[in-house]
């Protein structure tokens, strides 16, 4: 039983997640948010993406192996510029 608990703790460290919030100015309709979410979801390591049109913010939950620069590049493929507002460890 102790080994199983140790394994779960180790797995949680290995597969730790972050959550980052990005400001994406220029999004003005639901199609804009859909395009940005789709571009980000295609990245390996992304677990969840949500976009709020009224605040022009996109939240991304992702594995630690994924870098912020990769997310920003994905946003840029949709012709929008993203700016990181915050990043912290994501606790389930």
Check: CB of residue 32 under 8 Å from CB of residue 75: no
Domain 16-90 sits in CATH at: 3.30.70.100
Backbone angles phi, psi at 29, to 5 degrees: -150, 165
Confidence (pTM): 0.82
pLDDT of 28 higher than 50 = yes
Confidence band for 90, pLDDT divided at 50, 70 and 90: confident
pLDDT digits over 8-24, tens only? 444 444 557 999 999 99
List the chain domain ranges.
16-90
Q: Mean pLDDT over residues 84-90, rounded?
A: 93
């Amino acid at each position: 039983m102790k080994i199983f608990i140790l394994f779960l703790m180790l797995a949680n460290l290995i597969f730790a997640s972050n959550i980052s919030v990005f400001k994406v100015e220029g999004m003005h309709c639901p199609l804009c948010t859909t395009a940005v979410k789709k571009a980000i979801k295609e990245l390996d390591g992304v677990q969840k993406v949500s976009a709020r049109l009224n605040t022009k913010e996109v939240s991304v939950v992702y594995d630690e192996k994924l870098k912020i620069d990769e997310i920003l590049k994905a946003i840029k493929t949709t012709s929008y510029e993203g700016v990181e507002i915050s990043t912290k460890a994501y606790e389930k």
